[in-house]
Amino acid sequence: MKSLYILSVLFLIFIIPSAFAQSMESNQEMFGKIPEQTVLIKISADGHVHVTHDVEHDTSVRFVEFVKGTASNVEVYDSRSGEEVEFGIAGYGDTGGVQIFTLSPVMVEYDLDDTLEFVNGIWYWDYLYTYGTAKFFLPDGVDFVYVNDRYADLGGAKGLSCHGCGVRLGYYINAEPLIKNIQWELEKFPVEIISQNELINFNFIQEDKIISFETENPQLITLKIPLELLWNPYQVYFVENNDKSPLISPQNVTECNERQDKITIQGTAKCYDKLFNNEIEADEENVLLTIHPKKSGTVVILGTSAIPEFPFFIPLAIGILMVVLLQFRRKLNFNFSSIP
């Protein structure tokens, strides 16, 4: 009896999921074969989306699932002749799609609503489509693009692409950076900031190689930091606002948990939570640092060196000095011999 019970459990575990998968496959076959395709996505400045599926030819009925959203103004036409072809709209999957009865390559076009969301100056799209290659054509004026909260350097391109992907796409249009000038002795170092909300108490602590500021709300932040001011790579930390102690406070710290590091600021050691960051060299003199604090609190950016610890002219001066010494040594033509 016990053996029969175990066999019944094994049957439920292995046989039923398999039958369910077969059922899903057969349902898909009822609507048609998923074809090879390229998905072209054009986004306008007001968040309107137009989708085109460039579908390859096949020998059977094909089914092109819509990208998630509200599809309208559906058109299907032959890729070569441009003539409209017969199609049907089916309800398979979460969003439905188009059944294509002709065997020739076709283009499936439609408008898509309820996709992008405008949040505090930035457009977001949680995109998920597992078929073919998607090519996103972004609107004019886009100058800061993020993929999964990482800054994406388009290198002058009009968009980006991915294959069978799920991404969180974000971008600004005509973003105006806020400039914080950090005064050190007689020089000013501009730090450019792109953020959804204002940053408060922006501060530079030279002796500890730290930039710090407060953020009142969760937001995506990109800073353009001069290397002459604070050298990378950077480590970024975060302290929540519900921590009643100020940023610099007397506190004896012995151990930090695995998500923290012990940081000393103006002689006081404290545990700070690590915050993921993404840094890209903007040019030879600046780094773009992107962070996404999810709560209100204080952000601490720790560099490897700060002005005037390691000014730019020092490596150049050392290099010139080495060349001069080498030439001087050759001119003197010293001859050394071993001492017997």
The DSSP-derived string for 57-115 is P-SS-EEEEPPSSEEEEEEEEETTT--B--EEEE--TTT-EEEE-S-S-EEEEEEEES-
Distance from C-alpha of 277 to C-alpha of 290, rounded to nearest angstrom: 6
pLDDT value at position 154?
Answer: 86
* Cα distance between residue 155 and residue 163, in whole Å: 20
* Domain 37-173 class, CATH top level: mainly beta
pTM: 0.75
Whole-number pLDDT of residue 155: 81
Q: Which of 99, 120, 109 is nearest to 77 (CA)?
A: 109
Q: What is the pLDDT of residue 29?
A: 57
Q: Which part of the chain has CATH 2.60.40.3650?
A: 37-173
Looking at residue 263, its pLDDT comes to 84
The confidence score (pLDDT) of residue 235 equals 94
Residue 30: predicted pLDDT: 66
Using a CB cutoff of 8 Å and minimum separation of 24, what contacts does 231-234 make? Answer: 231/303, 231/304, 231/305, 231/306, 231/310, 232/279, 232/287, 232/289, 232/303, 232/304, 233/279, 233/304, 234/277, 234/279, 234/287, 234/289, 234/301, 234/302, 234/303
Residues of the chain with pLDDT under 70: 1-30, 92-93, 242-254, 308-340
Query: CA quadruple 19, 24, 27, 31: dihedral positive or negative?
Result: negative
